[in-house]
Structure 1
């Protein structure tokens, strides 16, 4: 049986899925910082692999998976930029009956936070999200990423400095 046919075999594909779902989900989460979006990205990537199984060499399927997740993430970011540009042009609808001042401040803060997080390098964002979102200790992060605890501390320090610099009142 040649390698690309192996991926089209349902049992082999299921094994590939089970073997890589957790790693791909973690990768997607550290890219986008949201579990639901990460799961969507990973599911879409596996769907693309299944649809193109005959074109993908089984030995390169893992690389294809992670590349696809990354590309889907980048496409999602581009789409969000378009949506945000449209939202700027469209009038805001107050669904929660919050005061206009509160809604404006909340929206401004969200934009500042998104912009500040986007300024972080992948490594800084990864450490920041592991620590602040998942609650991991620096020692645990160092073991996960196979780096020193000092490197984790430095990345976190720089990430926090960038966030403080770009978001006042944080």
Structure 2
């Protein structure tokens, strides 16, 4: 029974959790590790997790694990962190315009303070419902609406800087 429930959740949410971790960490291998850790935690806590709130639980655990990873990463040299950012941009030439827009958007989102960057990621990029995001970030739905409005306004301002350089 535990295995069936777990496998169903894994199948439904694995890609979304990996995408969230990859977006936050910007490192494929670390995102894979975090995804595995999150689902390991789910396995150990599956009986305590409300099936109707599992999406919010997974998002919150992923976000917190990524923040922990980023804090540990900051303990290393600034050179290592810069290497990760440049590594992200070493993609083969393709749709240059799309890559530039994606780069601007990623940089603009990373300039936002918390919880704004998480709200943009969870609501707009991953398109989670505001109620699920509220549960994930321990906010009320009203707070999510207000903060999301502010986050989008700040994001627009940051993006204007990139397009008017």
TM-score by length of 2: 0.50
- Once the two structures are superposed, residues 80-121 of structure 1 have per-residue CA deviations (whole angstroms, 9 ceiling, x without a partner) of 122238x89xxxxxxxxxxxxxxxxx87x96xxxx9984246
1:32 aligns with 2:25: yes
Counterpart for residue 62 of structure 1 = 55
3-state DSSP of counterpart to 1:55: coil
Structure 1's 51 and 22: CA in aligned 2 closer, same or farther, altered over 3 A?
A: same
Contact 1:116-1:162 within 8 A present in 2 as well:
no
1:14, distance to aligned residue in structure 2 (A): 0.5
Q: Which has the higher Rg, Structure 1 or Structure 2?
A: 1
1:122 aligns with 2:122: no
CA distance in 1: counterparts of 2:65 and 2:162, whole angstroms: 26
CA distance in 1: counterparts of 2:158 and 2:33, whole angstroms: 27
CA distance in 2: counterparts of 1:16 and 1:84, whole angstroms: 38
Q: Which has the higher contact order (CA 8 A, sep 6+)?
A: 2
| Aligned partner of 2:6 among 13, 19, 25 | 13
1:82 aligns with 2:83: no
3-state DSSP of counterpart to 1:56: coil
Structure 1's 118 and 162: CA in aligned 2 closer, same or farther, altered over 3 A?
A: farther
Counterpart for residue 136 of structure 2 = none
CA distance in 2: counterparts of 1:28 and 1:84, whole angstroms: 22
- Once the two structures are superposed, residues 126-155 of structure 1 have per-residue CA deviations (whole angstroms, 9 ceiling, x without a partner) of 6xxxxxxxxxxxxxx99x79xxxxxxxx98
Contact 1:32-1:38 within 8 A present in 2 as well:
yes
3-state DSSP of counterpart to 1:18: helix
1:158, distance to aligned residue in structure 2 (A): 5.2
Specify every segment of 5 or more residues in structure 2 that has no aligned partner in the other structure, as ranges: 87-106, 129-152
1:19, distance to aligned residue in structure 2 (A): 0.7
Please give the root-mean-square deviation of Cα atoms over the aligned residues, in Å: 4.2
